[in-house]
Amino acid sequence: MKINIYIPILILLLFSACRENIQLDLNSSNPQIVVEGSVSVDGPARISITKSINFNDDNSFPTVSNATVILSDNIGKPDTLNESQPGIYTSLKTVGMVGRTYSLTIKANDKTITSSGTIPNPVKFDSLKVKAQGGFGGGGFGGGSTQTGTLYTVRVKFNDPENETNYYRFIEYINSKPTGNIYVYDDRLNNGKTNDKTLLNFTRYLLKGDTVTVEMQCIDKAVYEYFNSFGNLGMGPSSSTPANPYTNLNGAVLGFFSAHTVERKQVVIK
């Protein structure tokens, strides 16, 4: 329940004309290894390794090739992943099983990075509703963009089991491209109840024929804390002091490793 978001949003609304680009002198930093790792109950295990760049560089993030990436569970043999694309290491052999703990070891550029995660019990993804909406008008929050299409809202519904602590992550794809917005929830306030969540996205302008796919993941506590500690959830000015999120990786500062269940639903705009 991010109450404090509303206050900066209200300020922005009142003074929406008063924004302008400024020049800032930002320091450069040593490139850091960034790991996005996932083991899920369906699909190949996928570990992506990239590097961070300086703020003013163009947004082309270098990949890290020729790394040794090994996944193992607490039962079978370790599985060395193949670099199927530059910086992306996959394997069809490791398919996630509920309750199993998966360990990740990466050796790249003289660095060793490890992590682990346990796949929690699955919770059924009840429904996905995508509806056109009025409300926030055609301007969006990007500052007067000239988007074509109509603004849509996306709502997801699921029933949270009462007898355990559950954490959820939702990933939104528009025409198979991930939006990158972060949606994570715990069950602190809605334990045991039907959860009806709106995935906020103020730049979701869609045309007829567009496809909205939403992936629901049941994640563990460490992955929830990683995503929850991102200061800016993509919704305008953040009012808390930004910091790197709490990573569950050892030996690296950026990124995460997630072992989760998956269920997808899709809606095509008519």
Site for other proteins in 142-161 (CB under 8 A): 142-143, 145
Binding other proteins (rule: CB under 8 A), the pick from 68, 133, 244, 266 is 244
Write out the two tokens for 18.
Answer: 């008063």
Binding other proteins (rule: CB under 8 A), the pick from 239, 262, 264, 269 is 239
262 binds other proteins (CB under 8 A): no
**Contact of 91 with 39, CB cutoff 8 Å:** no
Interface segment toward other proteins; rule CB under 8 A; list 51-59, 77-85, 91-99, 107-115: 51-59
124 binds other proteins (CB under 8 A): no
Binding other proteins (rule: CB under 8 A), the pick from 78, 97, 207, 246 is 246
**Exposure letters 227-251 (e unless 16+ CB within 10 A, then b):** bbebeebbbbebeeeeeebebbbeb
**Contact of 214 with 204, CB cutoff 8 Å:** no
Interface segment toward other proteins; rule CB under 8 A; list 70-78, 91-99, 117-125, 176-184: 176-184
Contact pattern from residue 193 through residue 232 relative to other proteins, giving x for each residue in contact according to CB under 8 A and a dash for the rest: xxxx-x--------------------------x--xxxxx
DSSP state of 242: P
H/E/C letters for each residue in 90-152?
A: EECCCCCCCCCEEEEEEEECCEEEEEEEECCCCCCEEEEEEEECCCCCCCCCCCCCCCCCEEE
136 binds other proteins (CB under 8 A): yes
